[in-house]
A and B are shown apart, each in its own frame.
Chain A
Amino acid sequence: MEQDKPKIQRRDFLRSCFKKLPVLVSAAYIISPDELLASASDDYNPDEHNYAMGISIHKCIGCGRCADACKTENKVPRDEHFFRTWIERYIIPPDGEAEVDSPNGGIDGFPKADEKKEILRTYFVPKLCNHCENPPCVQVCPVGATYTSRDGVVLVDSSYCVGCRYCIQACPYGARYLHPETHTADKCTFCYHRIVKGMRPACVEVCPTQARVFGEIGKRNSPLHRFIRFNDTIVLKQWLNTKPKVYYSGADGEVR
């Protein structure tokens, strides 16, 4: 495995390998940030990290396991309108507009494409919160419930959020939703409760093709560093200057 200094316990590791399903560590979405950090191992120093993700479009087969695992791991409502991560399918015809779909976020796979239509290219694009370095969602939150953690992850403190949904409006990537039970904003946390223990996010863990790479910016031995070095990567809606930290390789201008 590419994990640099794994703090994963062997049992956890084996279990997740066998089941290819994330371990249900905790009900992450109601845990406050202090508790999250408290669950980290003792020698964990948040200032030493700056997490990011790489996604290889060529490798993604659209199986939807990541989106499914995310829902299980983070207790995201099973309804088809709440996602921390989802997969989009792009079908590019020889000319004309690209066709995009994401039925139930891609969890149940995708229906067959229309065989009569000519297709130039088609690919899958997993989406999630980009953990922007310059996050508009953090900027607009009136109570500071959305914030950037010291280790570079954008989190929502649901014990603070007033549910005004300004952050949902401000996120250009549709990465946020209002949790129907807590009535507070929710989104991907990079599985914060896992990564502070040295584990990888559930979606990365379960991906059968390793289309997702989790790592750190500015650390040479991080798998992410290698990913960015050996691939041409883009970030989404770069012109908005949100400085996203999810890097896509193999994506073209159609992806937005």
Chain B
Amino acid sequence: METILANAVEAIAGATGYIYPNEFELHWGILIVVYPYLTGLVAGAFILASLERVFKVSALIPVYRLSLLTALSFLLIAPLPLLAHLGRPERALEMFLTPHTKSAMAMFGFVYVWYLMVVLLLELWFDYRQDIINWARKSTGLKKYFYYALSLGSTSTSDEALAFDAKAGRFITLIGIPSAFLLHGYVGFIFGSVKANPWWSSVLMPIVFLFSAIVSGIALMVLIYMVTTMFRWKRINMDCLNKLGLFLIVAMIVDFSLELLDFIQRLYESEESINILSSMISNRLFISLIISQIIIGSIAPMAALVMARFRKVPDEMKRMLYFIAAILIQVGIFSTRWNVVLGGQLFSKSLRGLTTYKLEMFGLEGLFVSIVLLIMPFVILFVLVKILPPWEGGHHEPMRLAPAESKK
């Protein structure tokens, strides 16, 4: 405990050793932590949905559409932290208009647009088309026109049309999986390709990002599924929850081993940077890396999941364990992003000194804005769920015709 306190005190103390004069200020702050966190949730939620679609994991049907909507809500907000962080946000579109093709960041913009426009929106549209038409037929007034507009004028519900929807949906999912991998692998690449920075520069970076994305996305769906079901006064489908738990454990084990591997490899290689990196870990990052990311965010939830999944415990208890694990995982993954992004800037590229990150409260790049950005996707999800109720139906019942809607 004493060392923790001592570390915490030192962490507040400011710069130690020698840092280049231009390095005094950290250039990427909390907004850039939020950004890969959000894109990770998108990729994770989408990959989860695809599991059901492509590999026909039917236990996951209750979360299929919900995952797609979640991915969309988070994707819509994901570029905002990046935008808010730009020195000249009014020029942001230049990244699309005059991109520099050798720049990872510029190319990420296109991966993003591709994913949003071609994959996610199209997949949702094909998946919901039949329901949209049904809702349009059943509603009156403005709502009717709204749904007709959403259907984009394609109102046929013939068997062929529905079969086409199903086929198109499956095809898009097939493109969608590599695209989701690309989306988050690319965020990892943006960091991993900075050779000037020994904390980032690792070929494993894209892969570690990807698996942590999957973990965070699945955990998020556990939370959203449990909370929404509760508020709708429905029973939680334990099969679905158990399946989610299983995927979560597998993904976490892969993620954790990859990170461990990366760590051991660095230690073993013991390059010039190892001294400054280890002193960074034992000082500045001690709480966020060892305690928050590894102990609270990885080991504890893994234990909880294993207990819920493989021990004979009552459902009530299981649900609680899943819920707690999912929350801890979010803490852990957020810490992961924090440690990567900020950790990479806490030591000088002179490899001679450490600096500190001073978190603002109310500035554009402060804590307050970040919290707002983290809440916004849930607001969007709330609206989306009202417009496109995900609770029933979906591609797996392609022949269904205008069902008697019990819920709006």
Contact = CB atoms under 8 A, between A and B. Distances in A.
A101 interface: yes
Interface in A79-104: 80-83, 86, 88, 99-102, 104
A102 B18 contact: yes
Nearest to A67: B21
Interface residues of A, number: 43
Nearest to B87: A163
A171 B190 CA distance: 14
A218 to B, nearest CB: 25
Contacts of A142: 95, 99-100, 103, 105-106, 109
Contacts of A141: 100, 103
A162 B194 contact: no
Given A143-B99, A174-B348, A160 B27 contact: no
A44 B18 CA distance: 42
Interface string B315-356: 000000000000000000000000000001100111110000
Interface string A223-240: 000000000000000001
A163 B21 contact: no
Interface string A156-174: 0000111111101111111
Interface in B87-110: 87-89, 91-92, 94-95, 98-100, 102-106, 109
A177 B102 contact: no
A140 interface: yes
B10 interface: no
Given A100-B350, A173-B349, A184 B88 contact: yes
A71 to B, nearest CB: 12
A208 B350 CA distance: 28
B196 interface: yes
A211 to B, nearest CB: 19
A215 interface: no
Given A102-B21, A256-B351, A170 B99 contact: no
Contacts of A100: 18, 350, 352
B18 to A, nearest CB: 4
A75 interface: no
A229 to B, nearest CB: 30
A101 B194 CA distance: 26
27 contacts: A80-B24, A81-B24, A88-B18, A99-B18, A100-B350, A100-B352, A102-B18, A102-B21, A136-B194, A136-B196, A139-B102, A141-B103, A142-B100, A143-B91, A143-B100, A144-B98, A144-B99, A160-B94, A161-B88, A161-B91, A162-B86, A162-B87, A168-B27, A169-B194, A172-B195, A174-B350, A183-B87
Given A82-B22, A170-B194, 11 more contacts: A83-B21, A105-B21, A136-B194, A164-B86, A165-B87, A169-B344, A172-B195, A173-B349, A174-B21, A178-B25, A256-B351
Interface of B: 18-25, 27-28, 82, 85-89, 91-92, 94-95, 98-100, 102-106, 109, 190, 193-197, 344-345, 348-352
